[in-house]
Amino acid sequence: MASVLGKNNNDRFEHLAKKHPCLGGDAHFKYGRIHLPVSPACNIQCRFCRRSFNKYENRPGVTNTIVSPEESLAVVEKAIKLCPYITVVGIAGPGDPLATTHALDTFKLIHRKHPKLIKCLSTNGLLLEENAQKLVEAGVTTVTVTVNAVRPEILLNICSGIILHGVHLTGSEGAEQLIKAQLKGITKMSSLGTIVKINTVLIPGINSDHVEEIAQIMTQAGAAMINLIPLIPQNEMKDNTAPTCDELNRAREIAEKHLKVFRHCQHCRADACGIPGTGQDLAGLLYGTRAETFSHG
């Protein structure tokens, strides 16, 4: 099925992919990104997610500390000195960036000081539509939305519940609301000219036969790329099996019939910094250690 992406968005994607290490294969080895860990809260509970504060795990949901929007300016300045090849400032947690106003406040400050840096957001999409215009005004040009299913009966096995404006929804009701919100948010962001990438955690036996439908519907919503991430068995899914390399490659081939596929994902931390394709990580030089807590809401 044809994507709703217009020529202008396709051209913009190609332009951004040249300098965005999480969009372009060549850029992955040439340019750097910094993830600012400014978002302490989350509004959904994925069964595979386990957020943590430590220095040694290389995976999403992990950071050494939380920084404030005001502190993030100094962090970016220091990061650019350490790695002049940084082209992207991203916010990817450790909670969801739209569960609080911290990410929006941070992007506004960074965009004012560094308008040429690419601003990138990674979100579960629950509050994406209502924040779409604010994100664009804050300089965000690329958004990654984690979409693990587009059918409630599948998603409820992956996400146990959501908190939408203070209301806790579980089971099919929560899954249905999340899917609706994601579709509306992706469509809205794309219509505003933002490049949208989809992250899908591949979970054998749960959504592994669902990948093509996800890719088809995300294409119709205006997404430009999909990134299939192998499950890390942990939390409620600690006894699940991660996909094999063959299973991951087959899923990528199926998805690629409908969307560009990013093949260089490295399970980046929420405080990652450096050129991802080189294995370089400067996070240890940027952040101090502080005791923190996570919250849902």
| Residue where the block lists tokens 């970016």 | 76
Diameter over CA atoms, the chain: 49
- Render each residue's pLDDT in the chain as its tens digit; 297 residues: 344 555 566 777 777 777 777 776 667 777 888 999 999 899 999 999 876 554 555 656 667 678 899 999 999 999 999 988 989 999 988 899 999 999 999 999 999 999 999 999 999 999 999 999 999 999 999 999 999 999 999 999 999 999 999 999 999 999 999 999 999 999 999 999 999 999 999 999 999 999 999 999 999 999 999 999 999 999 999 999 999 999 999 999 999 999 999 886 666 777 888 887 777 777 778 875 444 444 444
> What ranges do the domains of the chain cover?
7-289
| Residue where the block lists tokens 């997404």 | 223
pLDDT given for residue 19 in this prediction? 76
Taking alpha carbons only, the member of 245, 195, 192 closest to residue 218 is 195
DSSP for 193-253, written as a single string: T-EEEEEEEE-TTTTTTSHHHHHHHHHHHT--EEEEEE----GGGTTSPPPPHHHHHHHHH
Name the burial class of residue 113, with classes exposed (0-12), middle (13-18) and buried (19+) by CB atoms within 10 angstroms of its CB: exposed
Q: What is the DSSP letter of 277?
A: G
Across-strand partners of 143? 121, 196
Identity of the amino acid at 172 = S
Q: What is the DSSP letter of 29?
A: G
The CATH architecture of the domain made up of 7-289 is Alpha-Beta Barrel (3.20)
pLDDT given for residue 216 in this prediction? 97
